Amino acid sequence: MTETIFEMVSQYGVYVIFASAFMSCLAIPIPTSLMMLTGGAFIASGDLTVWHVVTAAFLGAVLGDQAGYLIGRIWGSQLTTRLERAPSRAAVLDRAHKLIDRRGSLGVFLSTWAVAPLGPWVNFIAGATGLSWGRFTVGDVLGEVFWVTIYVGLGYVFFDQIADVADIMSDLIGLVVALVMAVAAAVWIKAILRAEVTESDPDQDKR
pLDDT of residue 106 exceeding 50: yes
Contact (CB, 8 A) for 114 and 124: no
pTM: 0.77
Q: pLDDT (tens digit, 9 = 90+) per residue, 13-54? A: 899 999 999 999 999 988 888 888 888 888 988 889 999 999
* DSSP letters spanning 113-132: TTTGGGHHHHHHHHHHTT--
Highest mean pLDDT among 76-80, 175-179, 190-194: 76-80
> Cα–Cα distance between 148 and 54 in angstroms, integer?
7
* DSSP letters spanning 49-74: -HHHHHHHHHHHHHHHHHHHHHHHHH
